[in-house]
Structure 1
Amino acid sequence: MRILVNSSDIIIAFAIVGGFDGDIEISDEGLPSNFVETFKPGYYLYRDGEIKVNTSYKEESETMVIDNPPQDIDSLRIMVATLQKQSVQSNLKIVSLENKFKELEEKLNKEVGANE
């Protein structure tokens, strides 16, 4: 995994595939167990080679004003990170649903086979 850290050691983005200019490579062993699920830009810090929860993190409002576009690169990176997180969460849900579908399909096939 690769993380992108701003000048205040705040993790503003991560990538499982690919990366960013100036990113840092992190081994999976160095990640908190729920990093991907709980990631929010600014929620984690990267200091002294460790990922820690940012104790001064404040939840941002989910609504964004469209007529006031972001003016700096950090804002754009945060938006990309948020979209990436949503994509990862969607992919995890898809995999879960595919597994449940396979289980139900196998169960149905067994019951149909038993009734024949």
Structure 2
Amino acid sequence: MLKVGGENVAAVEIEGFLSHHPAIQLAQVVSAPDNKYVEVPAAFIQLKDGMAATEDEIIEFCKGQLSSFKIPRYVRFVTEWPMSATKIQKIRLREQIATLDTWMNPTHTYLSKSSRSLHGA
């Protein structure tokens, strides 16, 4: 469970929505630190073979369908996952966020919470 600006957000809800995108094979959502909202959703996405998508396309797919505080603020594409014997290790995904400067420079920023929308930075 993520806590985005005081709102509880279930990662599984965002992951389920992202799985409906035609290019997405698998999505995992974890929290990323944020100065304003404490934490925000960050999506790691594996695309289907032969498919392409951009960070902006994924965010546009979410707009109008998810509340703005549930829209991933960061999107990164992966081809392999940190695994335990049986499942993806989300803690290792969160560790990747902490070590990458690019995660701390989002391409999208939130407007006021009452507006419930995103805009390009």
TM-score grouping bracket, smaller chain normalisation: under 0.3
Q: What is the TM-score normalised by the length of structure 2? A: 0.23
Q: Which has the higher strand share?
A: 2
Structure holding more helix per residue? 1
Query: How high is the TM-score relative to the length of structure 1?
Result: 0.24
